[in-house]
Amino acid sequence: MSHHLHLAEGTAATRRGLRMLDDAAVLGLHGTESLTGVARHDLAAHRAAFGPRLSHLGHLGEDLLAAMETVHLTGRGGGHFPAAAKWRSVLAHGPGGTVVANGAEGEPGCAKDAVLLQVRPHLVLDGLVAAVEVLGAAEAVVWIHDGAWQTARSITRALAERVAAGEADPPIRVIAAPDRYLSGEATGIIRTIEGGPTLPRWVADPARPWSEGQRSVLVNNAETMARAGLISHVGVDGYAPTSLLTVINDTYRAVVEVGPEETFGDVVTNTWRSPDGRPPQAVLLGGYGGSWVPWERIAHLPVDNTALREHGLSVGAGLVGPLPADACGIEESARLLRYLADQSARQCGPCLFGLAATSTLVDDLTAGKLSRSGRATLDKYVGEISGRGACRHPDGALRMLVSGLHVFSEDVHVHRKGRTCNAPNHSIMPLPEEGS
């Protein structure tokens, strides 16, 4: 694997807090088994780097919740819901539940959670243990993808290291979920823990997503849990409000930790190898169910979700997918939409039939076969499907499509005239079935 990461030195502002990663981690385009660039912390290295973990039993739990609120810790799986609010609704339900660190990372482009579990497993485990203490939970779960062998090995080694060191941890199970896009969806995880299938389900009250009469289940993304663990070590003053991003390159992915004083322009300049020396024309931000953002618009925006929200954007699950200047954005959007339609859990009609029908129309568009009335039908489908799934999968797929139709309107125009767009650079974002 050839790459050249010339990461910028952090500024004084970012040096203030303690970061989770000290360098960029590099992986191949597919899977999470080829990680290089950051050495794994065993328990001794972890304690040396982050200090002893403090107890969060009893009233000390309120201190951690207050600290999470002060630093505005949000869910890094994509939704960015305030983490402390989620913990508080579990607390209100009573003790004896399950807490889950979700490292399944269904987004095929993203690898930040696998990186954390492979090189900083004890941060995630410290977060889980703190959650058990604060919430009075009965057990903890690390939820990973089946086939993520390096990740599983790192976690089981970390658990053994903690037993050997005499850590008084609660019971922690590792569960390997089916290797599918939606296996990391939170309601599917809760359903599995309650003894059901790993499929998303509709919940009447999002603040209480577990079944009526059942014990609570808290699901936090692995990065969110690691950040709770970090805050439990270093407190508000030692915490760096950074984001973990996965940057997609032509032959590799880079996972980097970036502070709010850096812009997306800085991130792409430092971690993306342009195939022709030119900046990208646009960036797919957040995930494959995220938004295409034109380069001129995103380059000066800070890596700070609060600031992004004012522009109607989100860091989401941390994907940064630059589209090279000579690539065709609408062909790439069509390709990703087909993948997302295929990944439907096949439970909800609007997702199962609607996304497939929409994808067929967009394929017609890229083939130059979409009539004027066909284009009107496409807009009608988008309006009909939005907001009607049990989970947010169809909404994400349509968000990506709608942003692509808007940002790549010139490509759309060329394709609708039936001309080929002469873009030589096809298939930028990695998809699982194309992996070796």
In the complex, the residues that contact other proteins under the rule CB under 8 A are 199-202, 204, 345, 347-351, 353-354, 357, 380-381, 384-385, 388-390
Q: Kindly tell me which of 357 and 402 has the beta carbon lying closer to other proteins.
A: 357
Backbone angles phi, psi at 105, to 5 degrees: 45, 70
Under a CB-based contact definition with an 8 Å cutoff, are residues 156 and 148 in contact?
no
- In the complex, least distance from residue 201 CB atom to other proteins, rounded to whole angstroms: 6
- In the complex, least distance from residue 222 CB atom to other proteins, rounded to whole angstroms: 26
Q: Kindly tell me which of 58 and 197 has the beta carbon lying closer to other proteins.
A: 197
Backbone angles phi, psi at 38, to 5 degrees: -130, 130
The tokens describing 410, both together, are 């010139």
- In the complex, least distance from residue 204 CB atom to other proteins, rounded to whole angstroms: 6
How far is CA 417 from each of CA 367, 368, 413, rounded to the nearest angstrom?
10, 6, 6
Q: Kindly tell me which of 332 and 364 has the beta carbon lying closer to other proteins.
A: 364
The tokens describing 289, both together, are 């169910």
> What's the CA gap between 84 and 89, in Å, rounded?
9
- In the complex, least distance from residue 182 CB atom to other proteins, rounded to whole angstroms: 12
- In the complex, least distance from residue 345 CB atom to other proteins, rounded to whole angstroms: 8
Strand order across the 319-323 sheet? 25-27, 253-258, 243-248, 319-323, 282-286, 291-294
- In the complex, least distance from residue 388 CB atom to other proteins, rounded to whole angstroms: 6
Q: Kindly tell me which of 108 and 184 has the beta carbon lying closer to other proteins.
A: 184
Q: Kindly tell me which of 72 and 202 has the beta carbon lying closer to other proteins.
A: 202
Under a CB-based contact definition with an 8 Å cutoff, are residues 378 and 358 in contact?
yes
- In the complex, least distance from residue 283 CB atom to other proteins, rounded to whole angstroms: 28
Q: Kindly tell me which of 64 and 190 has the beta carbon lying closer to other proteins.
A: 190
How far is CA 103 from each of CA 46, 135, 145, rounded to the nearest angstrom?
19, 20, 7
Under a CB-based contact definition with an 8 Å cutoff, are residues 267 and 247 in contact?
yes
Kindly report each contact of residues 204-209 with a partner whose C-beta sits within 8 Å and lies 24 or more positions away, as own/partner: 207/89, 208/89, 208/93
- In the complex, least distance from residue 380 CB atom to other proteins, rounded to whole angstroms: 7
- In the complex, least distance from residue 352 CB atom to other proteins, rounded to whole angstroms: 8
Strand (E) or helix (H) holding 254:
strand 253-258
- Closest by CA position to 409, among listed 297, 340, 329, 350: 329
> What's the CA gap between 124 and 162, in Å, rounded?
13
Strand 98-102 relative to strand 217-221: parallel, antiparallel, unpaired?
Answer: parallel
